[in-house]
Chain A
């Protein structure tokens, strides 16, 4: 647990420090996503369940499940969140 805060003066900015570069990465991710979504048209999906044959099913499911989980967690916080020292008495 040493050197908590070494001197940051004169530190060269990193590539990721530039918001423009982060934006580029995010656009790249979006482009990859779009390409993957479109890929469903290019191959025959072997499915176990009807739902899987929906175009882009896994993409939609991944996006939807992720948003649902995070938003559910956010509301769960209203019920479950307590100050850090809640159990320290």
Chain B
């Protein structure tokens, strides 16, 4: 009989011992924790559960079913790869926080009730910000603060929604929620923030490029995919998600085209990939949800691979700005190769992982006769080819030779990239093991003649379009710049508005005081005219002087009393 507990606890509790060790001991522990977590997760079977009673409510600390297992597996794999990629670093704080973060993401996936989910949800927020702050710059600190406020805010909304749901239903269980009730709407918004819905998305592009070389790789895997899991659990088949998801696939594409920071391009690209998953959740059919789960699985790997390759470039050259890079294939051939494998995977080339997963979502949209959504997703697929398939590898490793000659990435980074690349190709060539762990039985065959040919047509002609645009000089040059996005509202407009409000309030305050003082002066003048030495009352009443002074003194007392 196996002792049943939430596998996230392995990395959370184990992570607390990270600062106590140093050197080889710490490295072994860092790698061993996700491996142990994965082994334990593989041993779990659907239906297993662990509950405890608290204040009359039943907390389900562990809930194992097919949906949570998909995320449980891939989160541990990503954790292992992320740790391996970072193992050259001697930073106990980042090491500890990464374990807490990854462990709590796993914990949240296996949480069976909203309160347990909330606790893990907040721990992911608080622990992950250290991966941004570890960069150690003023810029990363401020970006991390914005990230933290937004992430914790998401947790507060989740808690508020959970309380309303408990009041309505009397149950804290985390199952299908729906957006009919106010509580449901709040939880939906909480998940939406973490999932980077349009207009709630900017924390992602703001913070991920500011995190450390290794931090971004780890961040990219967990937070947003946890949100995708939570949406799939609580809001499958919610119509509005189809439109939100479609918008998410489309708009980041345009920003990615013009963005100069290649890690920010990848953050936009991540946002775009989440859109495909959200559409799948909104469609809510078995094929669509299988598509979402498998796409999340494949996406975590190729997105981590792309962030790893750009991290290696940043590590060696000190920059990831497209305008400062180029020609790096000469000095970083392995990194370039792995990056291209990631690029082909995300672009969904046949034999690469994206091909066998993303297409399930497109097919599901087509089967539901949603031709506009399908068209948007297809357009976004061409966009993926643009920003991740071509732009990332081309401007970093080819294009105009920047003259930079650097060392190849460290061996542990190459190893992590190599394993991730092998998994991307492995899933593409032989998707059956992935299909076997999906929530619903899979009756889908990616390698049909039509699918292979149409995919290749789309991608090769997109590449030809790039060639034509570049040769004709129409392709926009990479320029050092930032591009305004929705974060402009709270980074520029709102501070400006607050500044205006502050000066407005002090203006009203000043003129208010002046008016009041004027009135007091007028009253005093009036009193003086009638009660003063030559005043009417003074003349008819000789005692007026005394009275006036008595009144004045009483008034003064009153004023002093009021002030004191």
Chain A interfacial positions (CB closer than 8 Å to B): 1-8, 11, 14, 16, 26, 29-30, 32-33, 36-37, 39-40, 43, 45-46, 48-49, 51-52, 56-67, 69-74, 76-77, 79-84, 86-88
Contact = CB atoms under 8 A, between A and B. Distances in A.
A81 B463 contact: no
B481 A63 contact: no
B386 A77 contact: no
Contact of B406 (A3, A36, A45): A3
Contact of A70 (B406, B459, B469, B481): B469
Contacts, number: 174
Given A1-B318, A3-B407, A82-B483, A63 B454 contact: no
A62 B457 contact: yes
Q: Main secondary structure on chain A at its contact with chain B?
A: helix
Contact of A2 (B366, B385, B407, B455): B407
B551 interface: no
B476 A70 contact: yes
Given A7-B405, A67-B465, A76-B254, 17 more contacts: A1-B315, A4-B318, A8-B405, A33-B464, A62-B459, A62-B461, A62-B462, A65-B462, A70-B257, A70-B466, A72-B257, A73-B254, A73-B258, A77-B258, A80-B484, A82-B484, A84-B480
B449 A43 contact: yes
Interface of B: 139, 253-255, 257-258, 315-318, 329-331, 366-367, 369, 371, 374, 378-379, 382-383, 385-386, 398, 403-407, 448-450, 453-469, 474-476, 479-485, 491-492
A67 B257 CA distance: 11
B403 A59 contact: no
Contacts of B491: 87
B186 to A, nearest CB: 31
A4 to B, nearest CB: 6
A84 B482 contact: yes
B462 A66 contact: yes
Contact of B464 (A16, A29, A40): A29
Given A5-B403, A29-B467, A73-B254, A62 B458 contact: yes
Contacts of B484: 79-80, 82
Contacts of A14: 330
B258 A48 contact: no
A81 B258 contact: yes
